[in-house]
Amino acid sequence: METGLYIHIPFCKSKCHYCDFCSVANADSELIARYTNELCRRMHEWKSRCRQRKFDTVYLGGGTPTLLNADQSATVLDTARECFDILPDAEITVECNPATASEYSLAAWHALGVNRLSIGVQSAVDSELRLLGRIHKFADAEETVRAARAVGIDNINIDLMIGIPDQTVESLEYTLSRYIELDCSHVSAYCLSVEEGTRFYKSRDKLNIADADAVADMYSLVAKRLSESGYEHYEISNFAKDGCRSRHNTHTWQCREYLGLGVAAYSYFDGERFGNSRDIEAFLRGENIVCESYRPDKDERMSEYVMLGLRLRGGIDTREFYENFGVEFDAAYGQRCRPFVVSGHLKIENGRVFLTKQGWLVSNAVLSEIL
Ligand code: SF4
């Protein structure tokens, strides 16, 4: 089974007001250069442990990987190819912000083998983008999509945020119509979550954020409009045109292994789950930054398999479940599933178990009862 490779680039032009990802705003070019050098050194450390593996996805996330200059991006991807057996048809994704990628720089990424772009658009309403602390306007996103297509990157994801302060059904309708016009191959739609340590968290009492019912209605609207426009709603938060599902994220939902490099990156590798700390200085000093590491036992692996598998439209294949764990799905979870089958939140059909559309709306509640 192929492995996924994740590379974290923790630099951004400025910090968005809701962001709790590991990223340094306005980092100087020397820090970025030191980081990429250390990243490459660590790739060489992993080389021998990965000799038997084939990698079918590479994902450069962040942060804003498109802040790397041409030399740095070439060094990172060339080193990845030198250290890991990356398949010729691998999906290679780079995350980007609309205001950080020109046609020229996207051409350079494409020449390095990047064949998928994930753009943090969030909304088509400029006042919402300003409120989120985004540094771009929607027109910049449109320009980035145009530029990506011009250089030959057709597989493009755009992020869409639900529950932005002051967002209304009308403004979301407007965003959806502009997104549908853009006609990208993939849309990731996710709900704003106000996390501790962010600027939004400090002013959370003053923010006009929709309640859970209104957010659920907005989510249903997104699902309806995108599905009507030719997108397959293949995962709770993700929509894809035919053949354009995210292979990298599907690795995670199918509990397949991946290696995460860089600060704040997570891995599931050789049966072990581990996460790196956010400490960039320790990373640059060459220290071991693994801060969470454990080997999930069989019960935990079964729970993860169910929790992640039920995020997918296709759900879980009960025969595969038995092959993986030597236990019938029904024996392990059947009893706890039955009330949700009766209530219409869950279906068990033709050897598959999956959440219905109604079930997706309350997936956290359903999963917490089942697991
Ligand atoms: S661009 Fe992305 S990673 Fe950077 S601050 Fe904004 S949300 Fe965070």
Residue 38 one-letter amino acid: E
Task: State pLDDT tens for residues 13-47.
Answer: 999 999 999 999 999 999 999 999 999 999 999 99
* Ligand 1 mutation pick, 22, 60, 64, max ligand atoms within 8 A of CB: 64
Q: What is the DSSP letter of 312?
A: B
What CA–CA distance (Å, rounded) separates 366 from 236? 13
- CA nearest ligand 1 atom 6, residue: 16
Task: Give the torsion sign (CA, 53, 57, 62, 65).
Answer: positive
| pLDDT score at 238 | 98
368: which residues sit within 8 A by CB, 6+ positions away?
A: none
Nearest to 363 by CA among 354, 338, 164, 251: 354
Strand 116-122 relative to strand 85-96, pairing: parallel
Q: What is the pLDDT of residue 126?
A: 98
Q: What is the pLDDT of residues 144-200, one digit of tens each?
A: 999 999 999 999 999 999 999 999 999 999 999 999 999 999 999 999 999 999 999
Beta bridge partners of 57: 4, 91
Q: Read off the pLDDT of residues 206-239 as tens digits, 9 standing for 90 and up.
A: 999 999 999 999 999 999 999 999 999 999 999 9
Take atom 2 of ligand 1 and give the residue whose Cα is closest: 63
Percentage of residues in the chain having pLDDT higher than 70: 100
Chain segment 69-101, per-residue pLDDT in tens: 999 999 999 999 999 999 999 999 999 999 889
Query: Whole-angstrom Cα distance, residue 324 to residue 302?
Result: 9
62 Cα nearest atom in ligand 1: 3
pLDDT of residue 227: 97
Q: Is residue 52 within 8 Å of residue 295, measured between CB atoms?
A: no
Task: Check the CA dihedral 115-246-89-301 and report its sign.
Answer: positive
For residue 12, is pLDDT > 90?
yes
Task: Assess whether pLDDT exceeds 90 at residue 1.
Answer: no
pTM of the model as a whole: 0.96
In three-state secondary structure terms, 285 is coil
Q: From 17, 21, 68, give the residue whose CB has the most ligand 1 atoms within 8 Å, as the site to mutate.
A: 21
- Looking at ligand 1, which residue's alpha carbon is closest to its atom 7? 19
Q: pLDDT at position 292, please?
A: 85
Mean pLDDT along residues 58-77: 96
pLDDT above 90 as % of the chain = 98
For 328: left if phi > 0, alpha if psi spans -120 to 50, otherwise beta; the answer is beta
pLDDT tier, 329 (very low <50, low <70, confident <90, very high otherwise): very high
Ligand 1 atom, smallest distance to 14 CA:
5
Task: Write down the pLDDT at residue 260.
Answer: 98
CB neighbour list of residue 122: distance below 8 Å, 6 or more residues apart: 128, 129, 132, 134, 159, 160, 161, 164
Task: Label residue 363 by pLDDT band (50, 70, 90).
Answer: very high
**CA gap 58, 53 in Å, rounded:** 13
* Rounded (5°) CA angle 333-219-93: 85
Q: How many CB atoms lie within 10 A of CB 344?
A: 11
φ, ψ of residue 39 in degrees (nearest 5):
-55, -45
Q: Is the sign of the CA dihedral 70, 71, 73, 79 positive or negative? A: positive
Distance from Cα 316 to the centre of ligand 1, integer Å? 33
- Residues 306 and 355: beta-carbon distance below 8 Å: no
Q: What average pLDDT does range 107-135 have in this prediction?
A: 98
Closest by Cα among 162, 202, 160 to 182:
160
Residues 292/286, Cβ–Cβ less than 8 Å: no
Out of 23, 24, 160, 263, mutate this one to test ligand 1's pocket (max ligand atoms within 8 Å of CB): namely: 23
Ligand 1 binding pocket includes 63 (Cβ within 6 Å)? yes
Is the per-residue pLDDT at 114 higher than 90? yes
**Which of 11, 12, 160 has most ligand 1 atoms within 8 Å of its beta carbon, as the pocket-test mutant?**
12
Give the model's pLDDT for residue 75.
97
Q: How many CB atoms are closer than 10 A to CB 127?
A: 11
Q: Which of 35, 42, 4 is nearest to 278 (CA)?
A: 35
- Residue ranges of alpha helices (H) inside 194-297 are 199-202, 212-228, 247-253, 280-284
What's the gap in Å between 201 CA and the centre of ligand 1? 15
Task: Please work out whether the CB of residue 10 comes within 6 Å of at least one atom of ligand 1.
Answer: no
The sheet carrying 116-122 orders its strands as 232-235, 238-240, 186-191, 155-162, 116-122, 85-96, 54-62, 3-9, 258-261, 266-269, 272-276, 290-294
Task: Give distance in angstroms: CA of 103 to centre of ligand 1.
Answer: 21
Has residue 107 got a pLDDT over 90? yes
Q: What is the pLDDT of residue 334?
A: 94
pLDDT for res 65: 97
Domains of the chain: 3-252 (3.20.20.70), 314-371 (1.10.10)
Residue nearest to atom 8 of ligand 1 (CA): 19
Residue 281, pLDDT > 90, answer yes
Per the prediction, the chain carries an average pLDDT of: 96
329 CA → ligand 1 middle, Å = 40
